[in-house]
Amino acid sequence: MKRTFNLRGGHKLTVGGKTLLMGILNITPDSFSDGGKYFSADKAMAHAAQLIEDGADILDIGAESTRPGSTPVSSDEEITRLEKVLPAIKTFGVPVSVDTYKPEVAAQALELGADIINDVHGLEDSRMIDVAKKFNAPVIAGHCERCSDGDIIADLQRFFRRTSDTCAARGLDPAQIIFDPGIGFGKTQEENWTILRRLGELKTLDGCEIPLMLGVSRKSVIGWATGFPVEERDEATGALCVHAIMQGFDLLRVHNLAMISPMCLIIDKLFRET
């Protein structure tokens, strides 16, 4: 299954061939892995350039940490952080996604040149659907709900179906949605690992293939299973990325592209049409 998204500015993004790598650019002081490292505009620009050199197909910019226990920031502060870097980063010529759950922030980011919305709250605020429709923007909808009946895979499938139906009812083509199972959001570690073991069951919904993104880079799910501290989780992240590609996932959101991009290249050559 290949799907081409027409992005703003005339760019196109094809999902379903080569695995697409989203380089993580956190312009925050408190993200769990790299908080504060790229908070200044100069450091953010330098890191963005390095991510692209290392193989990023998309830059995913986050201006508010979504780690458990983080301190929320206002929409105005989030927008101010984005305004410092987003227009300049667009000059690199690669698609940019904005990692936010706030419709007003997403709208301003798209005005500044972002192409994709990455909403870890799964379009919980339905105004986000209206923003995506207005800008004709692809949207990544992340699952962040508690499991309701003991079967996390069934819960995810219900979420995918319900989100598609809600988008259609509000006038957004469900073909604009990329789904994310939301590892680490609203789940126990056992549920996280159940999802990771059963990723292949998520690739189809009602008999049709759907585009999927996995964000597991350096997360606590790895630390829980291995005891590794955050700074020693890149190899394990790479192993999970390889597994995800083999189970049909189309996009991977990662920190260390220099390490993980070559792994994905080889697995694509072995298992995917490129």
- Catalytic residue chosen out of the listed positions 84, 253, 269, 272: 253
- Catalytic residue chosen out of the listed positions 187, 218, 219, 233: 219
What is each CA distance from 222 to 24, 120, 189, 216, 245, in whole angstroms? 18, 19, 9, 8, 18
User: Is 162 annotated as catalytic?
Assistant: no
Q: How far is residue 30's CA from residue 196's CA, in Å, rounded to a whole number? A: 27
The dihedral sign for the CA sequence 215, 239, 32, 46: negative
Q: How many CB atoms lie within 10 A of CB 70?
A: 14
What Rg, from alpha-carbon coordinates, does the chain have? 17
Q: How far is residue 151's CA from residue 155's CA, in Å, rounded to a whole number? A: 6
User: Is 219 annotated as catalytic?
Assistant: yes
Q: How far is residue 32's CA from residue 69's CA, in Å, rounded to a whole number? A: 10
Structure tokens at 221: 């799910």
Residue positions annotated with a catalytic role:
219, 253
